[in-house]
Copies of this chain bind each other. A is one copy, B any other.
Amino acid sequence: MSDGKEMRRPGGRSARVRAAVHQATLELLEERRWEEISIPLVAERAGVHQATLYRRWGTMPALLDDVVDEWSSTTAALPDTGTLRGDLEVYAAAVAAPLQDSLVPLILRAVVLEIRPGEPRTPSRAFRERERQLQAMLDRARDRGEQVPTLAELLEVVVAPLYFYALFSVPLPAADAGRLVDRLLGLVGQKA
């Protein structure tokens, strides 16, 4: 804010730069091999000075972290519909739906790419945050008196297949995501 060039609506400008840089990063992740993507290339695509990117993010891995954070906290925010089935169906459809335009595979690739060498046994930060959100979804349902599966069951029966199809195969049609929810709720005796 002390920088004269950024005096006019610094928050707005900052947010616009971040959005442009994130969009450019996702586009390049879709078009190019990871080893070809660099700060200068992202800067060019986003129409932002390289120096701004180096000052704000420093490295491509740090920029990827920020893209994944933003996605986890906004686009992929978990629903609160009033029933566990409703929450799960909205969540599963949301993960499956953007697959049509490849955002989820790109984010998952970014999470895989940001795995820290030398820390192979540590769950990624993005994964731990998502676990925390899913546990909160289950806790709300239990507090309402619903029969709920364990977090491990939710991860294995619903989340893992969605991510698996996104990463290794063709995306699962959103309509099929409901089948995974039925399978999970069948484990705890909830009727379909």
Contacts and interface: CB of A to CB of B under 8 A. Distances in A.
Contact of A60 (B35, B112, B121, B180): B35
A164 B187 CA distance: 20
A115 B106 CA distance: 11
Interface stretch (A48-56, A137-145, A153-161): A153-161
- Majority DSSP secondary structure for residues of A touching B: helix
Contact of A117 (B32, B117, B120, B168): B32
A121 B161 contact: no
A161 B156 contact: yes
Interface string A174-192: 0000001001000100000
B33 A117 contact: yes
10 smallest CB-CB distances across A and B, nearest first, come from A160-B164, A156-B161, A160-B160, A127-B168, A160-B161, A123-B169, A102-B120, A112-B112, A31-B117, A32-B117
A80 interface: no
A27 to B, nearest CB: 10
A187 B108 CA distance: 29
Contact of A157 (B61, B122, B123, B157): B157
The residue in A111, A120, A168, A187 that gathers the most chain B C-beta atoms within 10 A of its C-beta is A168
Contact of A35 (B35, B124, B165): B35
Given A35-B34, A115-B109, A157-B157, A121 B163 contact: no
Contact of A171 (B111, B121, B159, B165): B121
Given A156-B161, A160-B160, A31 B118 contact: yes
